[in-house]
Amino acid sequence: MNLENEKELLEGKSIYLRDFHEKDAVELLRLQLENRPFFEKYSMSRPADFYTEEAQEKRIWKFTLDKQNDEGYNFGIFHNETHDLLGTINLFQVLRGSLQSAFIGYFLDRKFNGRGFTTEAVKLIVRYGFDELKLHRIEAGVMPHNSASIRVLEKSGFHKEGIARKNVNINGKWEDHQVLAIINPADE
């Protein structure tokens, strides 16, 4: 199977989302290294070898397998004019059957925060999740003090549902998360 032919492109006004190619490993590593302290405030602990080109190549291969197995959909967030990699966004833990749901996650290079890129990316991937993947519900979990991420989700149509207590291990500590969700309007 030729994996390059299965690459998705979701176009927005300022950014576009596309599947990762193996050649993106260098840029994905750069994004991770330049933002390591910032990203690690909101992510699970990562082994030291995560920050290698080889590890990023393995991640990209895993992204491809996850998509083929309908388990996850991972995209790079790229600038329309410069084509620079600005961040990542994904739908993961895709559940089928009576649930038809997934979780959303994203990271944006901190030097591009506050420009609307993440909101645009969230809207694009939500539309993809509902229109193409036929999901019923997309859920997010955000640390309650991460007000910027909560604003992004609310501007994208997500609503708050409650607090999940001590549900995600962030850097060795179980953290509460604000649960937000959006339901496919076609199912309302």
What kind and span of H or E run contains 107?
Answer: strand 101-108
By the 8 A CB rule, do 96 and 73 touch? no
* Cα 16 from Cα 25, distance rounded (Å): 18
- For the stretch 8-67, pLDDT in tens is 899 999 999 999 999 999 999 999 999 988 888 888 778 889 999 999 999 999 999 999
Phi and psi at 44, nearest 5°, equal -70, 160
Q: Which pTM was predicted?
A: 0.91
Name the burial class of residue 142, with classes exposed (0-12), middle (13-18) and buried (19+) by CB atoms within 10 angstroms of its CB: buried
* Cα 159 from Cα 44, distance rounded (Å): 24
CATH class of 8-187: alpha beta
- For the stretch 78-131, pLDDT in tens is 999 999 999 999 999 999 999 999 999 999 999 999 999 999 999 999 999 999
The predicted pLDDT at position 7 comes to 67
Q: Which whole number is the average pLDDT over 129-144?
A: 96
Q: Where are the domains positioned within the chain? A: 8-187
